[in-house]
Amino acid sequence: MLSEKRLLRMRKSAASLCFALSVVLLSPPVLHSAEEHSYAQTIQQYVGEDKVYLLENIRQNITRPSEKMVVDALLCESGPQAIELFKKQLRDYPDPLLDQLSTSRISAYRLALQSTASLPKLSRPLPPPKPGLAEIPDTTRQNTAPLPAPLPERSKKESAMSEKRGFTLQFGSFANKEAAEALADQISVYETTKTIRQGGLFKVRLKKAYATRKEAADVVKEMPFSAIVVDENEAPH
């Protein structure tokens, strides 16, 4: 049988050992190592720089459910499926660092759908052109205004150069060409767009260019689509 003093010493030793273990386990370095690494800032950076395709490089390393779901949505080629992933992230895995990104993508998608649904429809087809108009003799057109003189060669060159300068708006980048063309069709209701291929992605941009970045940024405020200002002379990446 163990003596009372020996039992008391054993209890004190066990209590000291438990206290020491709790201090070690609850210390900041140990807690920090147990936390999962966050890629939220990297996700926001790639989205802000319009380099969503770079998310493929970190996709396999992401472990947080909220971050994984947002990355899957950003890389998804189907618009409706992407929106469902954004909604699921907000509902099941709220994250203060990513909630605003998911909310803005959902709002932009809804605006695009509303703008498409509100397109005016003709109540009846336009009447066909009246026959015989193309056969009017030239004598009936004697009072028409003369055609403008062709631009001199130098002016043509300057005009071509001016079209290549300046800034324009970019509305999105897609790995799928059909998805890019679908968005371009929606935006074309307001402004003429173009779809270009850069860095393996199809990018939707305005055809119109602006002299300064501020002029281009002011146009974004007047359109129901989110966009970023890009330099037309920027090299493909």
Structural domain harbouring 86: 40-116
Pairing of strands 201-206, 167-174: antiparallel
CATH of residue 199: 3.30.70.1070
On whether the CB atoms of residues 110 and 87 are closer than 8 A, the answer is no
Whether 13 is in a domain gets the answer no
- What stretches of 40-181 adopt beta strand conformation (E)? 167-174
Whether 98 is in a domain gets the answer yes
On whether the CB atoms of residues 52 and 74 are closer than 8 A, the answer is yes
Report the number of distinct structural domains present in the chain: 2
Whether 64 is in a domain gets the answer yes
Domain's final residue, options 84, 116, 148: 116
Report d(CA 195, CA 167) in Å as an integer. Answer: 16
Classify residue 119 as left (phi > 0), alpha (psi -120 to 50) or beta. Answer: beta
Span 188-230, pLDDT tens digits: 888 889 998 888 899 999 888 899 999 888 888 888 888 898 8
Of residues 102 and 134, more confidence is placed in: 102
pLDDT, residue 49, reads: 87
Whether residue 72 has pLDDT greater than 80: yes
**Judgement on whether residues 47 and 103 belong to the same structural domain of the protein:** yes
On whether the CB atoms of residues 70 and 101 are closer than 8 A, the answer is yes
pLDDT, residue 151, reads: 46
Whether 156 is in a domain gets the answer no
Q: What global pTM score does this model have?
A: 0.42
Of residues 10 and 133, more confidence is placed in: 10
Report d(CA 173, CA 175) in Å as an integer. Answer: 7
Whether 179 is in a domain gets the answer yes
Report which DSSP code applies to 210.
B
Whether residue 122 has pLDDT greater than 50: no
Whether 112 is in a domain gets the answer yes
**Judgement on whether residues 45 and 101 belong to the same structural domain of the protein:** yes
- What stretches of 119-192 adopt beta strand conformation (E)? 167-174
State the DSSP H helix or E strand holding residue 229, giving kind and residue range, or none if neither: strand 228-231
Report d(CA 187, CA 219) in Å as an integer. Answer: 13
Domain's final residue, options 86, 116, 146: 116
Whether 178 is in a domain gets the answer yes
Of residues 112 and 235, more confidence is placed in: 112
Report d(CA 165, CA 233) in Å as an integer. Answer: 7
**Judgement on whether residues 112 and 47 belong to the same structural domain of the protein:** yes
**Judgement on whether residues 58 and 112 belong to the same structural domain of the protein:** yes
- Name the residue type at position 17: L
Whether 236 is in a domain gets the answer no
Span 86-120, pLDDT tens digits: 999 999 999 999 999 999 889 888 887 776 555 54
Report d(CA 92, CA 156) in Å as an integer. Answer: 58
Of residues 117 and 169, more confidence is placed in: 169
pLDDT, residue 57, reads: 92
Whether residue 51 has pLDDT greater than 90: no
Q: Which of 42, 178, 35, 56 is nearest to 101 (CA)?
A: 42
Domain's final residue, options 83, 116, 149: 116
Q: Give the relative orientation of helices 99-117 and 177-187 as an angle to the nearest 10 degrees.
A: 60
Per-chain mean pLDDT for the chain:
75
pLDDT, residue 79, reads: 85
